[in-house]
Every structure is written in structure tokens, then in C-alpha cells.
Amino acid sequence: MTKKIISIDGCASIRHAIQLMLENEISGLPVLDQLGGVCGMLTEGDLLARCEIDSLSQSCAEVAKVDGTLLNYIKSKAWRVSDVMTPNIIAVTPDTPISIAAKLMASHRIKRVLVLDNGELVGLISRRDLLRAIAYVPPDTIAPGDEALKLAVITRLRTELGLTSHQVQIAVHNARVCITGNIDSELQRQAIRVLIERISGTCGYVDELHLAPQIA
């Protein structure tokens, strides 16, 4: 979670909001009301959607020459932030699992969710925070030995992909996994490879699967 939050007052001007975004290299600002509570979220998308693009006389080549640059796209007339922001914020609490935050971001197609503790803004979760969390997820671990590896592969093929020993067969020798049997599609083959590589790594996999003939 990002605890250093740059926010803006709902009565501030759009020009000030743009300057804050550019100076701090961020794409969104939590909007606070007069009591300090969160009343909305202002994003680049909100600004670009509300600006009068058709009235801009600059060419793309001229705009590209300027460094920094949302200001070059927007003809501002000192609009209030509260007039442009998205009022329906997506927020979580500090104890919300990071997986829930990720699902909210995906389902709402947003880049961040706010973290509120009893209504008080205490942080935000961004896409970059999710990437950091993914980077520190420990790899799958199993007991050493070929039999343990074989059991792990068989178990996960059944629980994760619904494949039983009647459909695919597993043999393991010196940590090298060999799989045989019949599959229904190339997509299924790819899913099997991904599953095995998660368990054994990328260097010990032999694919001897056969694609079942399609019945017309």
C-alpha cells in the first residue's frame, strides 16, 4: 500500500490538479471535501474526457515537442475539481486481502483503489503495488524427491485442471517430468505445461501428449 498520498481539495482548480499530477508523475488524485473526507477521485481519464479537444489548435507534432503535457491537451477555464471528478469511489479497508483489491481494479477497469479506515484516507493500492506483491510471492515448494514431485503433479492436475490418471499419466525420473495421454485441445496442453512448470521449473518437462481426434 502507498501511504504517501497526494490529494486535492474539491474546490481546487483543474489547472492545479493537472500540475500536481505532472509534478508528481501520478495519474490520479483522491478528492477531499471540506471536512477532509474522501468525496471522489480525479484521474487523467476524467480530465481528458471533459476537455474541449476539438477547440485545441495545436497539431500532434507541436504537442509532442512539449515536455510534461496534459496541460497541452486541456484548455482549462478554472473548472473546479469537484465538477470533473468521479464521485463513486472504489475503496477497501486496511485488512482487505490484496487479491480483493486486484479483482476490484480489474472489474471496474481502474488503476487504483483507495484504502479507508473508518472513513479516513490512509493509503491507496495501485497497479504498481500489485506488481510488487506478485514479485514477492514465494515459489511453490514441495518435498524433495521424484515421488513427491509426481504426487504433487498428479494432485494438481486433478484439482486445478480436472484431469485424472485415466486421461494423463505421469512419470518422474531425476526431477524430469514426463506426461503421456490424450488431451482435447492445444489450449489444454498449454495449461498442463504451465501447471507442471509452476511445480518443477522450466527445465524438466517432457510432453508426450496426443491430441484426440475431433469427431465431426
pTM over 0.95: no
Residue 36, number of CB atoms within 10 A of its CB: 12
Of 85-94, 149-158, 193-202, the range with the lowest mean pLDDT is 193-202
**pLDDT per residue over 161-204, tens digit each?**
999 988 999 999 888 899 999 888 888 899 888 888 888 765 67
Residue 199, number of CB atoms within 10 A of its CB: 19
Rounded to the nearest 10°, the torsion over CA 106, 109, 112, 115 is -70
Secondary structure of residue 176 in the 3-state scheme: strand
Alpha carbon distance 41, 32 (integer Å): 9
| pLDDT above 50 (res 78) | no
DSSP 53: G
Answer yes or no: are the C-beta atoms of 42 and 65 closer than 8 Å: no
Answer yes or no: are the C-beta atoms of 115 and 93 closer than 8 Å: yes
**pLDDT per residue over 127-143, tens digit each?**
888 878 777 766 677 78
Task: Give CA separation, 144 vs 4, 26, 149, in Å.
Answer: 44, 46, 7
Intra-chain end-to-end CA distance of the chain, in Å:
53
